[in-house]
């Protein structure tokens, strides 16, 4: 393709972009929730779960379909199973996915979002048997669903539930310490959302 054709193609795309962008509907939300680990040993070590906060954004391409992204933070405190020593786990999940919306014409509607999740974590241990700090991350997935209410045509209030799968492999940093390596640090979150629809 010649340079002139590339410039003409780029120019035509730029001219149609504002018209297409005017049809997009962005939403921004703050989503506090309570998180529970779904599998052992995590749900035994951190048996009380923890508070989680997420900031999310959605861009609808039409009334029923769009893209979804979020970033969150959670920190759980617990005790080691054998020694009872204190431990804490901080996780930062980043989501990118697709979102489906039902009953978009009404002030009350439901939604479903799903996609891959990148997560990073830091575990701090007060133990002489394992490493004081363990860092890691990986790729998993998330799925969430819920209901939103539109107030005054632009403010959102909703309830939601979310499942996350975050499997990681840990390696002991000290000799003669056993680790089964693979652990699922994801689980279930239930909460409310507050947002603004542009």
Residue 128: phi, psi to the nearest 5?
-90, -5
By the 10 Å C-beta count (0-12 exposed, 13-18 middle, 19+ buried), 39 is classed as middle
- Confidence band for 162, pLDDT divided at 50, 70 and 90: very high
Triad 21, 24, 27: Cα angle to 5°:
130
- Sorted by where each starts, the structural domains of the chain and their CATH numbers stand as 24-197 (2.40.160.20)
What pLDDT was estimated at residue 12? Answer: 52
Pairing of strands 155-165, 133-151: antiparallel
Render pLDDT for 1-25 as a digit per residue (tens, 0 to 9). 554 454 455 445 444 444 444 457 7
The two structure tokens encoding residue 154? 């632009």
Whole-structure pTM over 0.85, yes or no?
A: no
DSSP state letter for 174: S
Q: Any bridge partners for residue 27, and if so which?
A: 58, 197
């Amino acid at each position: 393709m010649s340079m002139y054709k590339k410039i003409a193609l780029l120019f035509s795309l730029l001219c149609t972009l504002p018209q297409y962008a005017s049809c997009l509907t962005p939403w921004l939300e703050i989503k506090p929730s309570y998180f529970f680990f779904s599998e052992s040993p995590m749900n035994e070590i951190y048996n009380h779960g923890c508070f989680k906060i997420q900031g999310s954004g959605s861009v609808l391409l039409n009334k029923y379909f769009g893209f979804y992204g979020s970033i969150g933070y959670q920190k759980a405190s617990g005790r080691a199973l054998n020694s009872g020593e204190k431990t804490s786990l901080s996780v930062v999940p980043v989501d990118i996915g697709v979102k489906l919306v039902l009953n978009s014409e009404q002030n009350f509607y439901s939604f479903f979002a799903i996609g891959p999740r990148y997560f990073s974590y830091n575990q701090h241990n007060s133990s002489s048997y394992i490493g004081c700090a363990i860092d890691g991350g990986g790729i998993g997935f998330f799925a969430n669903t819920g209901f939103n209410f539109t107030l005054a045509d632009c403010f959102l209030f909703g309830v939601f539930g979310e499942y996350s799968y975050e499997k990681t492999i840990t390696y002991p940093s000290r000799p003669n310490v056993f680790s089964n390596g693979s652990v699922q640090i994801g689980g279930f979150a239930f909460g409310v959302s507050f947002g603004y629809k542009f």
